[in-house]
Structure 1
Amino acid sequence: MASHMPENYAEDRLHRYLAHWTRNPSDLSVLDVDAISWATDEERSERVRKYCEVASDYYDLVTPLYEQGWGQQFHYTPLTPGLSIRESMTAYEKTFAEIARLKEGMAVLDLGCGIGGPARTIASTIGCSIVGITNNAWHVERGTALNKQAGLDHMVTLFEGDFLKLPFPDESFDAAYSVESLCYSPDPAEVYREIKRVLKPGAPFTFHDFAMTENAPAPWYYGPAGDIWWAWKTPGWPDFWKVFKMWEPFRGTAHCIYRLMILLGRVPREVSTLMDTMWYCTKGVASGGKKGIFTPMYVFVCRKPAGGKE
């Protein structure tokens, strides 16, 4: 079975990704805030044009880290009292399948499937067949190995492809869903047109995605916020170490250790840039949740018109 860490997982993956976010590719050891926050129209257009390449380079780099630190499910979740984050994720995926109107025997499309964590939960719970699509080749390789390990390779199949050009015939699916994926598309309207094309008349489509909101729900954000007290108080030990690694004092200590390793030549200088980038991402998500202005779990259910009616 494919390991969660790809062969030759090395500096080239780090360089490929960071090169998309700097104006000085010769020095990737410094976070280029201007290139990220104050990008020109031309720079933004170039990233949109290469969106599949940018996204694939990102997931080549972070997927093994996500799986190692967070598990096979790459999404946020409503928290169930008494359950760990992982248990809450699984419980939510089962509820999400009900919200999405998924039934036994259906042919279902998962848009942005990652390494197939939610698809495996849903397929084994509902008894439907799921086809997942991702723009990252490693997702397909790793996810296919995990499907086989779980004995679900006859129910869950993963493909590499593009949201904007789905490689499937018209009206070939009974339902479709997406979990924290469509917000990354450069042209959501085109994605929706493609989803409509491949769904059968009357078929449901459900997505769970990022949204700005006036009032966010319960504190889903304690994980990325590094709130170790909340982690200990609610589910106990299952979450503590996972959340501890997000705790600011731990992060600061780890940063100092990596700085020393960089100084000694044990790790490349660019690792510091990557740590800063990911830290700002998680901190921003948690801050938005605390202020009640952001949620990663906006759920919308729709249905393709039946009988040719628009």
Structure 2
Amino acid sequence: MSKTGALDLASGLGGKIKKQEVQSAVEQYEKYHVYHGGDEESRKTNYSDMVNKYYDLATSFYEFGWGESFHFAHRWQGESLRESIKRHEHFLALQLGLKAGMKVLDVGCGIGGPLREIARFSSTSITGLNNNEYQISRGEELNRIAGLSQTCNFVKADFMKMPFSDGTFDAIYAIEATCHAPDAVGCYKEIYRVLKPGQCFAAYEWCMTKHYDPKNQEHQKLKAEIELGNGLPDVRSTDQCLEALKLAGFEVVMEKDLSLDSPVPWYLPLDTSVFSITSFRLTSFGRLVTKTMVKTLEFVGLAPAGSDRVSAFLEKAAEGLVNGGKKEIFTPMYFFLVRKPL
């Protein structure tokens, strides 16, 4: 089960980074970003180090506050966040036409929450690709608990250089993961290569929308907050994402920003003006409790030095995401279904 207690949070802070090196890792991570003097080129050049540091530092917070699936979702009125997350994953499986016997790849699988849900929903065998050792160790433990170790597995690798033969998979998906790629075309080309001809790739992608103005300073600030708080080299526009898919060789079957017709705003769980019992840890008061708890755990030595700074840049990310969502300049659910030609 997910890590839900204070001591669980403390024990996971820093991931595979040595406890005495966490604060240094936080400082190195922050320096990649605009807020701390970094630039897009350095983030792209050093994306693997940046993203690995990010997930070592942030995964325990995500699991504590969000559960096993680290993503947003299209949400109906009266539907809980967890219900919407599961339905969001089921929608992806249905669009891909997943069925028993298919060999599926989850690109950038996190700790495997979607992988386990989709595997159970579709009776498929799923390989989770991830370049973060700590997340894979958590995923393997959770697979074992769920009884899925025989049908689902993890491979530690960079999605820009996958260790699979051409045409290995019957279907491939990514959920808010390929936004970490330094080069969208290169990433999509690798996915194209390992997918069987005639088969499909589907994803939810983080993108700036057509309302984003790169000359608007407030828009630039929000984009920088999202990049800092989420380990992103850049946030591409929906048009850039679509063009990259075509350049990689895919045929576009469907593409749509699902946030546009979500009855409940996707950013609602992070909106501090809203209180929720079911998502208490994500509310303003819940986040204050978590921040105070992290400070205390760090002070008494149960959490490593630097933990509070991780909490702070995640808070900054939440602010950027909510404001970016309210201004409709950012979406975490630009959905596409594309096919590799025969």
- TM-score when normalising by structure 1: 0.81
Q: Structure 1 residue 256: deviation in Å?
A: 7.0
Tell me what 1:50 maps to.
46
Q: Distance in 2 between matches of 1:137 and 1:256?
A: 28
Conserved in 2, the CA contact under 8 Å of 1:101 and 1:204? no
Unaligned 5+ residue runs, structure 2?
212-258
Conserved in 2, the CA contact under 8 Å of 1:13 and 1:60? no
Which of residues 37, 58, 61 in structure 2 aligns to 1:35?
37
Question: SS at the partner of 1:169?
Answer: coil
Cα–Cα, structure 1 residues 2 and 94, in superposed 2: closer, same or farther, change >3 Å? closer
Tell me what 1:127 maps to.
123
Cα–Cα, structure 1 residues 69 and 252, in superposed 2: closer, same or farther, change >3 Å? closer
Conserved in 2, the CA contact under 8 Å of 1:216 and 1:293? no
Aligned residue pair count: 283
Cα–Cα, structure 1 residues 99 and 10, in superposed 2: closer, same or farther, change >3 Å? same
Q: Structure 1 residue 72: deviation in Å?
A: 0.4
Q: Is 51-60 or 76-85 further displaced after alignment?
A: 76-85
Mapping 1:145-156, distance limit 5 Å: 145-156=141-152
Tell me what 2:321 maps to.
285
Tell me what 1:20 maps to.
29
Cα–Cα, structure 1 residues 171 and 255, in superposed 2: closer, same or farther, change >3 Å? closer
Cα–Cα, structure 1 residues 175 and 195, in superposed 2: closer, same or farther, change >3 Å? same
Mapping 1:213-292, distance limit 5 Å: 213=209, 214=211, 216-218=260-262, 219-229=265-275, 231=276, 237-239=277-279, 241-244=280-283, 247=284, 251=287, 270-292=306-328
Which of residues 43, 52, 71 in structure 1 aligns to 2:67?
71
Q: Distance in 2 between matches of 1:216 and 1:11?
A: 45
Cα–Cα, structure 1 residues 251 and 128, in superposed 2: closer, same or farther, change >3 Å? closer
Q: Is 115-124 or 288-297 further displaced after alignment?
A: 288-297
Which residue identity is paired with 1:143?
Answer: G
Q: Structure 1 residue 255: deviation in Å?
A: 5.6
Q: Distance in 2 between matches of 1:131 and 1:253?
A: 36
Which residue identity is paired with 2:130?
Answer: T
Q: Distance in 1 between matches of 2:293 and 2:103?
A: 49
Instruction: Give yes or no for the alignment of 1:187 onto 2:183.
Output: yes
Which of residues 284, 294, 304 in structure 1 aligns to 2:330?
294
Mapping 1:155-194, distance limit 5 Å: 155-194=151-190
Deviation per residue, 1:204-259 (Å, 9 max, x gap):
00010112224844311111113434x3xxxxx322x1232xx1x66567667877
Deviation per residue, 1:73-118 (Å, 9 max, x gap):
0001111332221121112211121112222211011100001100
Conserved in 2, the CA contact under 8 Å of 1:2 and 1:141? no
Which of residues 73, 98, 103 in structure 2 aligns to 1:102?
98
Q: Distance in 2 between matches of 1:265 and 1:149?
A: 30
Question: SS at the partner of 1:295?
Answer: strand
Q: Distance in 1 between matches of 2:138 and 2:2?
A: 6
Q: Structure 1 residue 260: deviation in Å?
A: 8.3
Tell me what 1:28 maps to.
none
Q: Distance in 1 between matches of 2:331 and 2:321?
A: 8
Q: Distance in 2 between matches of 1:63 and 1:222?
A: 21
Mapping 1:88-99, distance limit 5 Å: 88-99=84-95
Q: Distance in 1 between matches of 2:54 and 2:148?
A: 27
Conserved in 1, the CA contact under 8 Å of 2:2 and 2:63? no
Which residue identity is paired with 1:84?
Answer: S
Question: SS at the partner of 1:201?
Answer: strand
More contact order relative to length (CA 8 Å, sep ≥ 6): 2
Q: Distance in 2 between matches of 1:184 and 1:161?
A: 14
Which residue identity is paired with 2:19?
Answer: A
Q: Percent identity at matched positions? A: 35
- TM-score when normalising by structure 2: 0.74
Conserved in 1, the CA contact under 8 Å of 2:22 and 2:306? no
Conserved in 2, the CA contact under 8 Å of 1:131 and 1:157? yes
Question: SS at the partner of 2:98?
Answer: coil
